[in-house]
Amino acid sequence: MKLGTENKRKTIIAGVLVVVAAVLLVRTFTGGGEDTAPAQPAVTSAQHGASQTGHKAPRALLAHSLDPSLRFDLLKSAEDVTYKGTGRNIFTNAAPPPDIPKPVDPDVQPKQVYTPPPPPPIDLKFYGFAGPKGGSKRIFLLKGEDIFLAKEGDIVDRRYKIMHISPNSVEVQDVLTNNTQTLPLSAG
């Protein structure tokens, strides 16, 4: 049985390679020693020019970023950041929704005084008198094409009560809205 030791030169080279591989494996898994200084990165011409002008930021920043210690102040500042979104869906092409006005506190809101709308005007026209001058006063009232004959106290068009008749006007009350209006004598 042959072990391959016939060629001594090949056996010695193989032995040296096995020893070098073992040393490299040991250094890789053990960290390569704690007392060795980390390799300094090559300084580019831009960094070299910046350090000549008095800026030490790139080298200090690089040295600071290589520090393996845990920085609690940076972690705390990252915890305090809160995301304040706009409510917009970034996956659609639609416009963002309009802002909804916030309600004002009841104490701050101005008091709104309710004023009822004015009553509708009475759409009758005082057209003239009927009957003898010394007799009971009767008047003609016109609404559109309808003509009504009435005296004091009568209700016209199921809504208007004749309150008082004078020589130049008549006082009419709307019984639904309790609105009183004076209608002048109209010519023609």
Query: What CATH number is given to the structural domain containing 175?
Result: 2.30.30
What's the mean pLDDT in 95-100?
77
Most confident of 42-51, 80-89, 127-136, 170-179: 170-179
pLDDT at 173 over 90: yes
Tokens linked to 54: 């008095």
For residue 58, the tally of other CB atoms under 10 A from its CB is 15
The single-letter code of the amino acid at 167 is P
Domain that holds residue 165: 125-184
Q: Residue with structure tokens 């506190």?
A: 105
The tokens describing 158, both together, are 């199921």
CB atoms within 10 A of CB 162: 23
| pLDDT at residue 110 in the model | 64
Question: In this structure, what are the phi and psi dihedrals at residue 44, rounded to the nearest 5 degrees?
Answer: -80, 170
Q: Is residue 34 part of a domain?
A: no
Model's pTM, two decimal places?
Answer: 0.39
How confident is the model at residue 154, as a pLDDT?
A: 93
| pLDDT, tens digit (0-9, with 9 covering 90-100), for 75-95 | 888 888 887 776 677 788 877
Tally of structural domains, the chain? 1
- Within a domain: 37: no
In terms of DSSP bridges, do strands 160-165 and 155-156 run parallel, antiparallel, or are they unpaired?
antiparallel
